[in-house]
């Protein structure tokens, strides 16, 4: 997943107003064992932020939990902050008992507790703000607990799994082993799955000689492309932890000779331009940077090229399609998974 900042320039009033019309889903942090995830809104999937040291947690109703997760995600740097909303599992020993909801936020640096409580009060009331509890958390603790419960994810022929599920691959699977550690991306997100399905679709008609993956995160899409197409994949991310993790995961999966992770913002890096013109570009990031990147992606691609775009809610799709339509791309296919939209677009 990408590490582009979420909604740069959004004012707080705009964020609050946007919530009235946008789908309310929890953010993309895996809940502890014994909880059920409610959905995903944050774009940096899989695990808490790099070097998470602090956590805020409170019990509340479903609507409040979702709104709290949303406003925290939209108000803090997504590289160092993550939030989630999820339902507690009901007490099976007490028939008829109702489960509550949990709102959680992870921070890579000590949070401004007053600011966080003020945000909570805006969307959930003063009582909820006062009940928020702040504690510290060990990095090793959340990495181990998050990875321990992950199950394999299947998307077409692709199977994303951790080390403890190596035996789950079947003949003809394209198996990708991911130990995300401190980087984002374990494959357990509808945007990743949508991109993988689109990649299979693109492979039916084209065999690109070079591929660009923007916002590579833990490198899942870059590794998948390398295994599927057997060609060079340039993989950019603005987080050095992700670049290192993508390189390690590529080596783990035997495609290090194909995957070239690069520390880069967007497509602005000389190494990323070495593979031009690209026959396929994948960008699983956010709607706003996707729109901003349309002209540069267009200049990096072949006259007849495919692009796979994801990280979009339904309401954001028309503007993204329009931005790339101005560059000569037309939509070829759309997939909706877990409230997220993935697009395959073609030019030529």
CATH classification at residue 212: 3.40.50.150
Give yes or no: residues 240 and 135 share one domain.
Answer: no
Q: Does a structural domain hold residue 325?
A: yes
Give yes or no: residues 315 and 216 share one domain.
Answer: yes
Q: Does a structural domain hold residue 3?
A: no
Q: Does a structural domain hold residue 302?
A: yes
Closest CA to 51 of 136, 116, 117, 132: 136
Q: Does a structural domain hold residue 175?
A: no
Give yes or no: residues 115 and 222 share one domain.
Answer: no
- Sequence-distant (≥ 6) Cβ neighbours of residue 340 within 8 angstroms: 40, 189, 190, 191, 194, 310, 311, 312, 313
User: Quick one: CA torsion of 314, 103, 44, 266, rounded to 10 degrees?
Assistant: 80
Number of domains in the chain: 2
pLDDT tens over the chain, length 348 residues: 333 323 222 222 222 223 222 322 333 333 332 333 333 333 333 345 556 788 999 999 988 998 998 899 888 877 678 888 877 654 444 444 445 788 989 888 899 999 999 999 999 999 999 999 999 876 554 445 555 555 788 899 999 887 777 888 888 999 999 864 544 555 567 888 999 999 999 999 889 999 999 999 889 999 999 999 999 999 999 888 789 889 999 999 999 999 999 999 888 889 999 999 999 999 998 888 999 999 999 999 999 999 999 989 899 999 999 999 999 999 999 999 888 899 999 998
Domain that holds residue 73: 12-145
Give yes or no: residues 134 and 226 share one domain.
Answer: no
End-to-end CA distance of the chain: 28
Answer with the one of 145, 176, 210 that is the final residue of a domain: 145
- pLDDT number for residue 347: 95
Q: What angle do CA 152, 155, 161 make, to 5 degrees?
A: 20
Q: Does a structural domain hold residue 166?
A: no
Rg of the chain taking only CA atoms, in angstroms? 20
| Residue 306 token pair | 């495919």
Omega before 277 within 30 of 0, i.e. cis: yes
Do 223 and 183 touch, CB atoms closer than 8 A? no
Q: Is 234 helix (H, G, I), strand (E, B) or coil?
A: strand
């Amino acid at each position: 997943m990408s590490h582009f900042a979420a909604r740069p320039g959004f004012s707080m009033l705009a964020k609050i107003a946007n919530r009235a019309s946008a789908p309310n889903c929890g953010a993309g942090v895996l809940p502890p064992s014994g909880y059920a995830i409610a959905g995903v809104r944050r774009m940096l999937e899989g695990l808490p932020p790099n070097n998470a040291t602090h956590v805020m947690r409170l019990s509340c109703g479903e609507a409040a939990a979702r709104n709290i997760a949303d406003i925290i995600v939209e108000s803090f740097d997504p590289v160092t902050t993550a939030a989630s909303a999820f339902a507690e599992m009901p007490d099976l020993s007490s028939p008829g008992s109702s489960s509550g909801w949990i709102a959680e936020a992870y921070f890579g640096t000590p949070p401004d507790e007053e600011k966080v409580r003020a945000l909570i009060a805006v969307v959930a009331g003063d009582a909820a703000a006062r009940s928020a509890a702040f504690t510290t958390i060990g990095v090793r603790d959340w990495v181990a607990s998050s990875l321990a419960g992950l199950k394999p994810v299947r998307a077409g022929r692709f199977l994303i799994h951790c080390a403890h599920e190596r035996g789950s691959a079947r003949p003809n699977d394209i198996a990708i082993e991911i130990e995300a550690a401190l980087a984002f991306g374990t494959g357990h997100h509808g945007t990743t799955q949508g991109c993988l399905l689109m990649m299979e679709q693109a492979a039916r008609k084209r065999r690109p000689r070079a591929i660009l993956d923007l916002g590579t995160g833990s490198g899942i899409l870059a590794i998948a492309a390398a295994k599927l197409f057997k060609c060079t994949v340039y993989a950019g991310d603005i987080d050095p932890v992700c670049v290192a993790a993508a390189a390690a995961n590529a080596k783990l999966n035997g495609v290090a000779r194909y995957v070239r992770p690069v520390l880069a913002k967007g497509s602005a890096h000389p190494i990323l331009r070495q593979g031009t013109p690209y026959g396929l570009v994948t960008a699983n990031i956010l709607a706003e940077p996707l729109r901003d990147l349309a002209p540069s992606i267009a200049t990096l691609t072949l006259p007849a090229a495919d692009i796979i775009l994801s990280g979009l809610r339904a309401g954001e799709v028309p503007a993204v399609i329009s931005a790339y339509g101005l560059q000569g791309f037309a939509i070829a296919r759309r997939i909706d998974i877990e409230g997220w939209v993935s697009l395959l677009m073609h030019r030529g």
